[in-house]
Structure 1
Amino acid sequence: MSDNFLTGRNLLNVVRQSTYLTIVSMGQMFALLTGGFDLSVGTILALTSVVGATAMAGAHAAMPDAVGLSILIGIVAGIAAGTAIGVVNGIGVSVFNVSPFMMSLGMASIGFGIALYMTGGVPVYGMPMEFGDVFGFGSVFGIPTPILVTVILIMVLYFVVNWTRLGRYFYAVGGNIKAARLSGINTRLTLFLAYVLCGAMAAISGILLTARLDTGEANIGANMPLESIAACVIAGVSLRGGVGRIENVVLGAIFIGLVQNGMNLARIESYLQTVVIGALLILAVVADQFRLRYIANLQD
């Protein structure tokens, strides 16, 4: 283990780098809570990045003096495009009863194809420097902007999950959708909103990552579905739905970031890092199965 691993500077870097995964993982938790999952979150990052960067660069070229407006146009366009994927996923799962696996996998392919078509595989440049300076590398009262945005989202989603009727509905639908329906819960709307929230969170993460990279990229987020599901399952979110906590998911995402950072410092190749993350996911799923069996035995 490198001597730099436990330094304050490195740990701050881990937290900063984990913000993108943390935001996506919190969105993924909503899909998992309802008994599904979203394999299109990586594509949402890519499409958000490409659409946001293209709109921002175009607005900046047309209105070079209106920097703030150009940035706003790009952010709104990017988040709208990413959230639209979540809306389509939600309609497919809640209205047409398409399995979350097939629905999100199909949308992942569609979104990725659109992103590549828009860019031809070439990064999008021309965004205002202020965008990266503020949202990628800036800070407020000494707190890096990505971390500040993540903290705000954590507080908002914690409130939604723990203190609102919608939050209770997510748990109810994931725990037993038939019982939830009989109790008067609009299960279709709840499922729909779960995937919309998941798409919106991935879109916000895509905007922040675009600011960090200072380009619109169609190839970002490839590992995000695996990593976000791993972060959730490691944090105790059940793949069967109905179980999970926002604060634990945040810790799970940071844990994934620590593992990746440690492997980077140990100079482990990126391909092997993917193997390690996959192994962690499998171990977490096995542990979840043991937990479910233990609970079932207690009930018997």
Structure 2
Amino acid sequence: MSTTATLPGGPGRQSGQDILNLVLTVGLLPVLMAIVIIGTSLMSPYFLGWMNVVNILRMASFLAIIACGQAMVIIAGGFDLSVGAVVALASVVTAKAMAAAASAIGGPDILAIVIGIAAGLGSGLAVGLFNGLCVARLKVSGFVVTLGTMSATAGIGLLLTNGIPVYGMPKGFVQAIGRSQILGFPLAIYIALAVVLAMAFVQRRTLFGRYVYAIGGNQEAAVVSGVSIRRHLVGTYVLSGGLAATVGILLTALVGSGQASLGGDAMMLQSIAAAVIGGVSLRGGIGRVEVVAVAALFLTILGNALNLLHIDSRLQPIFLGLIMVLAVALDEFSRRRMSRV
């Protein structure tokens, strides 16, 4: 007769370890997303309705675009707190430039639309270039620099509008970009897919993408290897500013006016959350934009579910904060676990 010694709490501890191993293998994100989708669909008949699904995908597209730029900055070892303010500035600049061009030029709307979009993108790229130069040239912390530009950029947007929405844009801009659909889906979804695919290609197939990983992983080693640190750091911030401006333009077309209240702190925080939940390490050097895009979809689904379930809006940031803490803790645990192997 043989006996098997069992430590107190052994079976429970083993099952808990098995669950943790499963989460580390499959990933926290798919597990959480499945729980939210299944739970909400059982509690609300409207969650899987076609209009709600389209709305979720549209809003997730905006967040995915801005989170891809944020992810590149974090992978390089930085932060971009100005993305929400850039969204607002691009919205205001696009609307004002487009309205002014339409009034001055007249004729076909296409020329005014092109001028407005170019001005909006230019404003985002300019903010990104300023951020990048301050970080790369002056050696100032990206957190501090972008915190300052966030305040300054938001102030410029308010100064240009006095807090009043800007109208007068060509109807073609609103109809073609903000309201049009292809195969039943808004144009913003296709733009987001194109951005994610392009960014994934940049990460995997270009020297820029590889050098960004190298800079974030070990900047000293990257310098020894001959990588131009300054140029690539500036490039990540310019990219982030350009993508944030793209979201500003898309939101302007959706709401039909330029507003200095678009974006803001909420979009900045959500872009960082999407990057962190999507596996981007806050220490730099790790992360994939396609996973970040999935994280953006998850956050949008979560926010939509909380609204449908009539959860107090003041409690919703608590859920987001807890998920971020859990994601960071899991990332740190995974790092320590791998280092022991």
What's the TM-score bracket when you normalise by the shorter of the two chains? Answer: over 0.9
TM-score (norm 2): 0.85
Partner of 1:115: 157
Q: CA deviation at 1:77?
A: 0.3
The AA in structure 2 aligned to 1:111 is: T
Q: Which residue of 1 aligns with 2:329?
A: 286
What pairs with 1:26-105 in structure 2 (closer than 5 Å)?
26-105=68-147
The match for 2:245 is 203
Residue of structure 2 equivalent to 1:177: 219
Secondary structure (helix, strand or coil) at the match of 2:314 reads helix
Aligned to 1:112, what secondary structure does the other structure show?
helix
1:48 and 1:161 map into 2 onto residues whose CA distance is 26
Task: Give the Cα–Cα distance (whole angstroms) in 2 for the partners of residues 12 and 30 of structure 1.
Answer: 27
- Structure 2 unaligned spans of 5+: 1-42
* Equivalent residue, structure 2, for 1:263: 306
Cα distance in 1 between the residues matched to 2:338 and 2:269: 27
SS of the aligned residue for 2:223 comes to helix
Where 1:36 maps in the other structure, the secondary structure is coil
Q: Distance in 2 between matches of 1:268 and 1:228?
A: 22
1:98-177 superposed matches below 5 A? 98-177=140-219
Query: 2:289 is matched with which residue: 221, 241, 246?
Result: 246
1:152 to partner: Cα distance: 1.3
Structure 2 residue 272 is the aligned partner of structure 1 residue 232: no
Moved over 3 A (4+): 140-143
Letter in 2 for 1:243: I
Contact kept in structure 2, 1:82 and 1:199, CA below 8 Å: yes
Structure 1 residue 247 displacement after superposition: 1.1
Residue number in structure 1 paired with 2:57: 15
- d(CA) in 2 for partners of 1:231 and 1:40? 16
Deviation at 1:183, TM superposition (A): 0.6
Query: Rg: which structure is higher?
Result: 2
8 Å contact from structure 1 (residues 230, 284) kept in 2: no
Residue correspondences, number: 298
Supply the distance in 2 between the matched residues of 1:124 and 1:291 (Cα, whole angstroms). 48
Instruction: Mark the CA change 1:220 to 1:275 in structure 2 (over 3 Å): closer, same or farther.
Output: farther
Q: What corresponds to 1:3 in structure 2?
A: 45
CA distance in structure 1 between the partners assigned to 2:318 and 2:62 by the alignment: 21
The separation in 2 between residues aligned to 1:100 and 1:226, in whole angstroms, is: 16
Distance 1:275 1:68 in 2: 45
Q: Secondary structure at the match of 1:270?
A: coil
> What TM-score, normalized to structure 1?
0.96
Quick check: 112-121 or 56-65, which moved more?
A: 56-65
Match of residue 339, structure 2, among 293, 296, 300: 296
5+ residue gaps, structure 1: none
In 2: Cα distance, 1:267 partner to 1:179 partner: 51
Shift of 1:192: 0.8
Structure 1 vs Structure 2 CA RMSD: 1.3
Q: Equivalents in 2 of 1:200, 1:18: separation in Å?
A: 18
Query: Quick one: structure 1 residues 185 and 225, their matched pair in 2 at CA, closer, same or farther if it must change by over 3 Å?
Result: same
Contact 1:226–1:278 (8 Å) recurs in 2: no
Shift of 1:8: 3.9
The Cα of 1:27 is off from its aligned counterpart by: 0.5
- The answer to whether structure 1 residue 274 and structure 2 residue 323 are counterparts is no
Q: What are the superposed Cα offsets for residues 77-98 of structure 1, whole Å, 9 maximum, x if unpaired?
A: 0110011111001001111111
> Residue deviations 1:36-79, cap 9 Å, x none?
11000000000000111110111112233221111111100011
Determine helix, strand or coil for the equivalent of 2:169.
coil
Identity %: 44
CA drift at 1:282: 2.1
Structure 1 stretch displaced more, 258-267 or 132-141: 132-141
Matches of 2:315 and 2:129, distance apart in 1: 35
The 3-state SS of whatever aligns with 2:194 is helix
Residue identity opposite 1:294 in structure 2: R
